[in-house]
């Protein structure tokens, strides 16, 4: 992976970030049926930082809060506590007006190519919207020229701008979505499962395109995915998320080669074996618990084969082990039995 | 009419643009309309075609009544009291000058119906437009903002729904008339009717639009607009509104029929337009007095005209609802 | 004789713009106890093939040609009532979304008991104990309590287990599983795959596993059919197809999947997208995207040719046979 070496200074720093959603039943029901308020901690005090020019991935199963983190970073949600620091400024909870100059620099690519483009707009208007909103080009001719340039950048043609989204396939729509995200000339792209709705051959096209664009434009990616193979291919560093918390953060290569946290190991063990090596795998136990009532202590303890009394009562804090930060009492106490590494860089 | 004109102008604009900019023009709006599923489903349904023909005929007759009508029912000079109570032309007492007979003042019933449809359709359209603007606006706002505002607007809507429409219309009518001077009332009869029918009909639009808005608001294209920092009002108008108007068109068509009936009902009850400028409802009320003395045509023909018009518009609305429903395609 | 034989199956859709061929001359066999994977991208016709076999094609889709034989007996032309009996008793079905496959108004026990009693003549008590046995078998914890729960009280993975129990309830000889793991999380996906594998081994049930996920196929299937634009591009033992793909499409597909542990700077990619049904090119449907296409590919449509232990529909294979 000889990529432009990411510079050392972080472009984005997330500190003790939390987001709580009120999922209570309506007020009247609470009063009449005596139901308590219900709070969902979608993101629960996470820290990470993204270096300029790198791809930082968040991996986890559905409901772990990774999409909430994406929406917090782009300002679709405000944080409940904690800071989101973009180039030294805390951008968490800014008003729409205060956020405007930063919005141009942080854009987002969405998961569902069928829902992320307004079906009533022509493609050229969809891509021109950020250009007009941020006054990046003036006059019809200049805007048209810029739209054409963007369409060609994502390997579409100028004529495609005249069409409506329904005339395109899923992969082409995702290209349009990328062109719109690039229209404001951002530095930082938040990609929320950009390929999970696509077929594999199209996924490869989009991933290659994203890598090329990163190299050409010096973009930084915050990449959200549940697909470990995709994450392995695209990431420089990654964070594994479970029930709103980060369990392991570090360089992608190190984590894939030597996963430490029992949850990371379990996840890596679920990757289907395309090599058909007949490798025996640990059986995966249990399911993700209800995030409204997360387990006490380490939230992974009910599924963890190494859990003990401390894991059930005390939430582990991240500790650095080599290059990775791991939140696990077992790793700290050195009682995780060494299992065969999953990916040896075959 | 306005639809055809709008399409023509869009097409003209489109063709002009295509000529200037793109060398290979996309199919024109008219072409796309001809290829569309809606047009196909229209062609497949003979009842719908018949309903459309009836509706268009009514519209033309109403619009061109001053030129098409054989007599001018408002021109007191041309009326002759000797012509009163003439039976339809085909009966023994008929007069070939008056195809559908005359009323108590010697007015030609056919001409009165044509002019009456004009009044009925005008009030119908205007009140539908008012209800639509009110309902779509409030529904969009309510669904997009949510929370307390939404709860408030929807509670008001529910309270209004628990009263019959005609009662609301009578109430608004009564309040407005009470607030106005007697001499103003004659001039403002139309306004009062439109306001009362319009206000009584907004709820359905608001509920439908609110529902679709709540779905659309969470879609990723709206989030994309928010990430760009587009103002919430613009997101509502430019992104969400075009995507929630499909069902509104259906409701509006069916509501047009309801509005025409409401106007007729109010006029029949005597709180509508004055007898000097009769609508279909007023004509039916006038004729009603003579129904049992044998002059049936004075009320039956306007009544039949109203029934046919409302049925045709309703059939169009039903077809539109099915044609726009992807589940039934 | 194979358990299921599909012979030159053709599924067409009548639309006002003409007839669209969604499945075109598909032939395949499934032996007793065998897992056949059917893999392809969206729109390749894989689900349509599955639906045609269980007799669940929705109009305007219809079988326009070919034969489907179960145990040598034709089932593609049976009247609805007869097919309904075969469906469930002989052929079970598992769909992608476990929530829509279950009736939300009945407890899972009621649904299982009803299915069991439709297909075999047993009493209520016997059917219930059989239902309990099934729930235990598919790994539902505390099955004796959960049998009276309603579908919405189960998580996605547990629901899919219930659907599998339902499909197994009449001891079918063949199960058609259409994307059974697509809606599930990765860790649950692994559990369901392991369960399906175990059940088929224990019961000797044959499975047709329809999926877009090569990983699932590699884990589960004995043989695999790769579909492209309504036709089978390549069919053969799963190890052969995955490791030594012969059809350029399969080859490209395998190259486009990122693999953990493999250093890749750039994924191999197939340019373009699968054609829509309205615009399938002449000759081989894959020829506009194929890096190895030559004149014949653009003119004549290749039929599957035996190659090794499988069959490949590609003119390159014929060429090799001639020259080699």
pLDDT score, position B1: 37
Cβ of residue B15 closer than 8 Å to a chain A Cβ? no
Residue C85 pLDDT exceeds 90: no
Q: Does C238 reach chain A within 8 Å, measured CB to CB?
A: yes
The pLDDT score that the predictor gives to residue A325 is 94
The SS3 of residue A51 is strand
Give the integer Cα–Cα distance in Å for C199 and C192.
10
Distance, CA of C7 to CA of C27 (rounded, Å): 4
Residue-range domain boundaries for chain C: 242-258+279-324
B22 in contact with chain A, both atoms CB, cutoff 8 A: yes
Structure-block tokens of residue C243 = 């490791």
Residue A284, pLDDT score: 67
Is A162's CB within 8 Å of B26's CB?
yes
Average pLDDT over residues C209-218: 90
* Edge-to-edge strand list for the sheet holding A188-192: A106-109, A188-192, A220-225, A55-59, A237-242, A245-251, A324-326, A319-321
pLDDT at C298 over 70: yes
Which 3 state secondary structure label does DSSP give A196?
coil
Tell me which H or E stretch contains A81: strand A81-86
Cβ distance A271 to C260 less than 8 Å, yes or no, reads: yes
Residue C250 is predicted with a pLDDT of 94
* 8 Å CB contact of A201 and C260: no
Looking at residue C239, what is its pLDDT? 92
Whether residues C264 and A284 touch (CB distance < 8 A) is answered with no
Using CA atoms, how far residue C177 sits from A21, A321, C15, in Å, is: 37, 44, 28
| Lowest-pLDDT range of B21-25, B138-142, C165-169, C232-236 | B21-25
pLDDT of residue B76: 67
Which residue's entry shows tokens 């499988």?
A: C310
Residues with pLDDT less than 70, chain A: 1-8, 276-284, 338-346
Which chains sit next to A, with 3 or more Cβ pairs under 8 A? B, C
What confidence score (pLDDT) does residue C28 get?
93
Tell me how close the Cα of B36 comes to any Cα of chain A, in angstroms: 14
Among C245, C250, C226, C223, residue whose Cα is nearest residue C236: C223
**Residue C197 has which token pair?**
């594998």
- Contact at CB, C261 and A256, closer than 8 angstroms: yes
Which residues contact residue B40 at a Cβ distance below 8 angstroms, ignoring those fewer than 6 apart? C16
d(CA C149, CA C23): 40
CA distances from B287 to B273, B280, B283, B297, C268 (A): 15, 11, 6, 8, 83
Mutate to test the interface with B, among A26, A73, A118 (most CBs of B within 10 A): A118
Task: Enumerate helices (H) and strands (E) in chain B, giving the number of each.
Answer: 15, 0
Pairing of strands A237-242, A55-59: parallel
**Buried b or exposed e, range A153-171, using 16+ CB within 10 angstroms:** bbebeeebbbbbbeebbbb
Residues (pLDDT < 50) of chain B are 1-26, 328-329
More confident residue, C186 or C225: C225
Mean pLDDT of chain C: 89
How many Å lie between the alpha carbon of B117 and the closest alpha carbon of chain A? 36
pLDDT at position B23: 37
Handedness of CA A154, A158, A163, A167 (dihedral sign): negative
- Can you give the pTM of this predicted structure? 0.84
CATH of B40-65+99-328, one of 1.10.240.10, 3.40.640.10, 1.10.3720.10, 3.40.50.40: 1.10.3720.10
- Residue spans per domain, chain B: 40-65+99-328
Question: DSSP assignment, residue A314?
Answer: S
CB contact, 8 Å: A99 with chain B? yes
Q: Which DSSP string corresponds to B79-147? A: --GGGTTPPPTTSTT--TT-TT-B-TT--BHHHHHHHHHHHHHHHHHHHHHHHHHHHHHHHHHHHHH-H
Cα(A141)–Cα(A139) distance, integer angstroms: 6
| Nearest partner of B296 among B307, B288, B308, judged by Cα | B288
In this complex, the residue of C41, C187, C258 whose CB is nearest that of residue A266 is C187
The pLDDT assigned to C113 comes to 93
Q: From C48, C229, C268, C234, select the one nearest A200 (Cα to Cα).
A: C268
> Which chains, if any, share at least 3 CB pairs under 8 A with chain B?
A
Nearest CA in chain C to A290: C155
Q: Identify the three-state secondary structure at position B216.
A: helix
Task: Inform me whether the C-beta atom of residue B231 falls under 8 Å from chain A C-beta atoms.
Answer: yes
Looking at chain C from residue 271 to 300, which residues have their Cβ under 8 Å from any Cβ of chain A?
271, 273-274
What's the rounded mean pLDDT across residues C83-110?
A: 86
d(CA A72, CA A262): 28
Query: CB-based burial of residue A85 (10 Å sphere; 0-12 exposed, 13-18 middle, 19+ buried)?
Result: middle
Closest CA to C211 of C183, C179, C236: C179
């Amino acid at each position: 992976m000889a990529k432009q070496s990411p510079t050392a200074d972080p472009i984005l720093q997330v500190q003790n970030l939390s987001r709580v959603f009120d999922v209570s039943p309506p007020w009247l029901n609470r009063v009449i049926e005596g139901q308590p308020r219900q709070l969902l901690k979608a993101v629960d005090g996470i820290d990470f930082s993204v270096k300029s020019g790198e791809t930082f991935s968040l991996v986890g199963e559905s409901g772990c809060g990774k999409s909430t983190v994406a929406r917090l970073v782009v300002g679709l949600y405000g944080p409940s506590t904690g800071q989101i620091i973009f180039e030294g400024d805390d951008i968490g909870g800014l008003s729409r007006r205060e956020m405007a100059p930063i919005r141009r620099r942080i854009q987002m690519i969405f998961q569902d190519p069928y829902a992320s483009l307004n079906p009533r707009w022509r493609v050229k208007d969809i891509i021109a919207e950020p250009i007009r909103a941020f006054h990046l080009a003036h006059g019809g001719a200049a805007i048209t020229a810029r739209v054409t340039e963007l369409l060609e950048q994502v390997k579409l043609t100028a004529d495609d701008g005249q069409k409506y989204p329904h005339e395109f396939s899923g992969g082409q729509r995702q290209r349009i979505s990328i062109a719109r995200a690039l229209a404001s000339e951002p530095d930082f792209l938040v990609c929320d499962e950009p390929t999970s709705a696509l077929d594999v051959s199209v996924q490869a096209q989009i991933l290659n395109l994203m890598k090329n664009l990163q190299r050409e434009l010096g973009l930084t990616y915050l990449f959200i995915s549940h697909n470990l193979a995709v994450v392995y291919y695209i990431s420089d560093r990654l964070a594994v998320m479970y029930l709103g918390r980060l369990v392991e953060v570090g360089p992608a290569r190190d984590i894939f080669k030597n996963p430490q946290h029992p949850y990371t190991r379990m996840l890596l063990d679920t990757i289907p074996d395309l090599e058909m090596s007949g490798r025996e795998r640990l059986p995966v136990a249990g399911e993700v618990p209800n995030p409204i009532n997360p387990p006490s202590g380490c939230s992974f303890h009910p599924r963890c084969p190494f859990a003990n009394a401390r894991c059930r009562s005390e939430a582990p804090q991240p500790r650095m082990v080599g290059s990775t930060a791991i939140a696990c009492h077992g790793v700290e106490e050195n009682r995780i039995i060494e299992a065969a590494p999953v990916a040896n860089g075959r | 009419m306005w639809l055809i004109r709008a399409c023509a102008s869009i097409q003209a604009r489109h063709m002009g643009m295509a000529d200037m900019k793109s060398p290979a023009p996309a199919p024109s709006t008219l072409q796309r309309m001809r290829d569309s599923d809606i047009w196909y489903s229209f062609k497949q349904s003979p009842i719908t075609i018949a309903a459309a023909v009836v509706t268009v005929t009514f519209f033309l007759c109403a619009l061109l009544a001053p030129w098409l009508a054989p007599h001018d029912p408002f021109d007191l000079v041309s009326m002759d009291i000797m012509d009163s109570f003439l039976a339809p032309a085909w009966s023994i007492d008929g007069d070939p000058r008056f195809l559908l007979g005359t009323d108590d003042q010697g007015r030609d019933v056919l001409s009165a119906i044509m002019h009456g449809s004009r009044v009925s359709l005008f009030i119908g359209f205007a009140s539908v437009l008012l209800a639509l603007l009110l309902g779509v606006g409030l529904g969009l706002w309510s669904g997009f903002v949510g929370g307390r505002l939404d709860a408030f607007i929807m509670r008001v809507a529910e309270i209004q729904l628990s009263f019959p429409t005609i009662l609301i219309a009578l109430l608004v009518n009564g309040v407005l008339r009470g607030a106005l001077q007697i001499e103003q009332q004659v001039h403002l009869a139309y306004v009062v009717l439109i306001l009362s029918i319009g206000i009584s009909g907004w709820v359905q639009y608001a509920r439908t639009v609110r529902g679709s808005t709540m779905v659309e608001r969470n879609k990723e294209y709206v989030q994309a607009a928010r990430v760009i920092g587009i103002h919430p009002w613009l997101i509502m108008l430019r992104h969400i509104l075009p995507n929630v108007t499909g069902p509104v068109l259906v409701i509006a068509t069916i509501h047009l029929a309801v509005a025409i009936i409401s106007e007729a009902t109010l006029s029949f009850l005597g709180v509508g337009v004055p007898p000097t400028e009769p609508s279909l409802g007023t004509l039916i009320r006038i004729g009603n007095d003579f129904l049992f003395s044998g002059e049936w045509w004075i009320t039956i023909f306007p009544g039949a005209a109203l029934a046919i018009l409302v049925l045709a518009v309703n059939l169009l609305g039903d077809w539109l609802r099915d044609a726009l429903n992807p589940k039934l395609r | 004789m194979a358990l299921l034989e599909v012979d030159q199956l053709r599924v067409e859709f009548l639309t006002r713009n003409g007839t669209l061929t969604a499945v075109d001359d598909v032939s395949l066999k499934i032996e007793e106890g065998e897992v056949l994977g059917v893999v392809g991208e969206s729109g390749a016709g894989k689900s349509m093939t599955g639906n045609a076999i269980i007799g669940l094609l929705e109009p305007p889709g219809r079988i326009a040609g070919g034969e489907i034989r179960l145990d040598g007996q034709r089932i593609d032309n049976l009247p609805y009532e007869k097919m309904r009996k075969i469906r469930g008793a002989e052929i079970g079905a598992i769909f992608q979304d476990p929530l829509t496959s279950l009736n939300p108004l009945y407890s899972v026990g009621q649904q299982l008991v009803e299915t069991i009693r439709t297909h075999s003549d047993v009493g209520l008590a016997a059917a219930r104990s059989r239902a309990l046995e099934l729930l235990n078998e598919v790994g539902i914890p505390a099955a004796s309590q959960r049998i009276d729960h309603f579908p919405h009280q189960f998580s996605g993975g547990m629901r899919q287990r219930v659907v599998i129990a339902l499909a197994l309830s009449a001891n079918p000889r063949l199960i058609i599983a259409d994307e059974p793991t697509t809606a599930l999380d990765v860790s649950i996906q692994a559990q369901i795959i392991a369960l399906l594998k175990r059940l088929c081994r224990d019961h000797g049930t044959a499975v047709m596993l329809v999926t877009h996920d090569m990983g699932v196929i590699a884990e589960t299937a004995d043989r695999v059919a790769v579909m492209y634009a309504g036709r089978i591009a390549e069919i053969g033992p799963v190890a052969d197809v995955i490791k030594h793909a012969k059809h350029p499409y399969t080859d490209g597909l395998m190259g486009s999947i990122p693999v953990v542990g493999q250093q890749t700077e750039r994924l191999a990619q197939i340019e373009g997208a699968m054609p829509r049904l309205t615009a399938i090119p002449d000759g081989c449907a894959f020829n506009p995207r194929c890096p190895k296409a030559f004149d014949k590919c653009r003119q004549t449509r290749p039929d599957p040719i035996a190659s090794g232990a499988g069959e490949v529909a590609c003119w390159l294979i014929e060429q090799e046979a001639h020259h080699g």
